[in-house]
Amino acid sequence: MSLLEEKELSDLLDGTLDLERVREIQRAPKDLDRRERLLAIEQKRLGWKDRIVLALQESLFIVQTDAGKTVRCRCGHHFGDYRRNWKESALVHERDPQDGELYASANAPTKDWMILREFYCPTCATLLDTENVPQGYPFIFNFLPYFQDEKP
């Protein structure tokens, strides 16, 4: 496989890269500088300057600030220290799966079994995560990354 070009990487990010090309990339041994290269592309795209140290998930980054490593949304919203679940600083909507907005009634649970918990960015309203859980289930802390320069 020829090495990934800048354009291909950013197309991969956008989900517009030709799928046969993606297959070549999937077949090839993993390029070990991928994280740095993707972060560089993301950094260029963002409207703010904090240095990204990790892409946490869709729309969320861990950035290095004077206050330490914090979670920040693509739109710039700050969620706070990465060691604390970012969901605890998000907007939450507890959706009744039977509300008719998404699923046909026969294809969704009733809220006695499960609710659909949606987490939004308070600034840009991006839907950052959904949790299908019974009422009263604690937030799920999906990812606590390990950094060489500090112990979680």
Partner 1 sequence: MNVMLDLSGKIPLKERLRARRAHIEATGTYIERCTLKETDPIGFEVFYTKLSQSINNARDLARQVAASPEMREMGESVLGLFTPEGDAICLSPGLMVHVRTMSRAIKWMIDNDYETDVGINPGDIFFNNDPYIGGGHAPDQQIIIPLFHDDRLIGWAGGMSHVSEVGAVEPGGMGISMKTRFHEGLYLPCMKVGEGDLFKRDYEILVDRSVRASVWWLLDSRAKLAGAKLIRDAVRGLVAEYGLDHYLRIGEEYIEDTRRATIDKMRRVLYPGRYRDVGWRGIDEPDLRQLLHAPIQTTISPEGRILVDADGLSSAGPHPVQATVPLFEGILFSSLIQHVFYDTRYNEGTALVLEHRVPEGSACNPPDIYHATALWGPAFAGGIACNQSISRAYYANGYREEVHSCNAQVNAIIAGGIDLFNRKFAGWNMEMCASGSYATAFMDGLDTALAEFNAEGDSGDAEIWETALPLIYLGRTIRVDGGGFGRFRGGAGLYSVYMTPDVPKLELGSFGGAPIFPAPGLMGGYPAPMPTVYVVRNTDLKERIEKRLPLPHHEGDPASPDVVTQAKGDVEVVRGGNYIARNIQPYSLYVQPGGDGSGFGDVLCREPEKVKRDLDNGVTSRHAAESVYGVVLSKDGVVDLAATEKRREEIRARRLARGIPADQYRKKVRQKFLSGDLPAVSKTLFRDTLSNHGRFRDEFLEFWELPSDFAIA
Partner 2 sequence: MASTAHSKQALCYLDVGGTFTDAFLVDESGDFRIGKAPTTPDDISRGFFAAVEAALDVGGIKHADGFSEMKVFGYGSTTVLNALLTRRGEKTGLIITRGFENLLQIERGKQTWTEYDRTDRIHPLTHRHLDPIVPRKLVRGITERVDATGRALIPLYEHEVAPAVDALLDEGVSGIAICFLWSFLNPEHERRAAAIAAERIGARGVDCRVVTSFDTSPVIRELSRTNATVIEAYTSRLAHSAFAAIEQGLTERGFKGRLQIMQSSGGLASPHNVKAVDTLHSGPVGALVGGRLLGEIYGWENVITTDVGGTSFDIGLINRRQITTRRDPTAARMILGVPMIEVLSIGAGGGTMARIDPLTNRMQVGPDSAGSVPGPVCYGKGGKLPTVTDADLLLGYLNPDYFAGGTIKVDVERVQKVIREVLAEPLGLSVIEAADGIRQIIDTKMRTAMVGLVEARGLNMSSYHLLAAGGGGPTHCAGYTDKVPLAGVLMLPYSAAFSAFGSSSADYEHHYSRATNLIIAPDIDASGKGEISGKLAAVWADLVEQAHRDMRIEGFDLAAVNLRPQVMVRYGRQLNDLTIASHTLKPDGAADLDRILAAFERQYEETYARAARFPQAGFHITDVGLVATSPKVRPRIKEHALVSDRPDAEARKGSRRAYFAGDWHDTAIYELMKLKAGNRIAGPAIVEDRTTTYVVPPGRVLEVDRFLSLWLKNQ
Stretch that binds partner 1, among 43-51, 63-71, 135-143 (CB under 8 A): 135-143
Q: How far is the CB of 2 from partner 1 (least distance, A)?
A: 15
Q: Would you give the binding string for partner 1 spanning residues 17-56, x where CB under 8 A is met?
A: x-x--x--xx--xx-x-xx-xxx--------------xxx
Q: Contact residues for partner 2 (CB under 8 A)? A: 19-20, 23, 26-27, 29
What is the distance between the alpha carbons of residues 60 and 76, in angstroms, rounded to a whole number? 9
The smaller minimum CB distance to partner 2, of residues 34 and 51, is found at: 34
Cα torsion through 10, 27, 19, 33, rounded to 10: 0
The smaller minimum CB distance to partner 2, of residues 27 and 49, is found at: 27
Partner from partner 2, partner 1, none contacting 51, C-beta within 5 to 8 A by type: none
Q: What is the largest CA-CA distance in the chain?
A: 53
Radius of gyration of the chain (CA): 19
Q: How far is the CB of 150 from partner 1 (least distance, A)?
A: 12
What is the distance between the alpha carbons of residues 69 and 65, in angstroms, rounded to a whole number? 6
From residue 61, give the alpha-carbon distance in Å to each of 43, 55, 118, 135. 10, 5, 19, 29
What is the distance between the alpha carbons of residues 49 and 66, in angstroms, rounded to a whole number? 12
2 part of the interface to partner 1, by CB under 8 A:
no
The smaller minimum CB distance to partner 2, of residues 12 and 46, is found at: 12
- Bridge partners of residue 147, in order along the sequence: 150
What is the distance between the alpha carbons of residues 145 and 127, in angstroms, rounded to a whole number? 22
118 part of the interface to partner 1, by CB under 8 A:
yes
Q: How far is the CB of 119 from partner 1 (least distance, A)?
A: 8
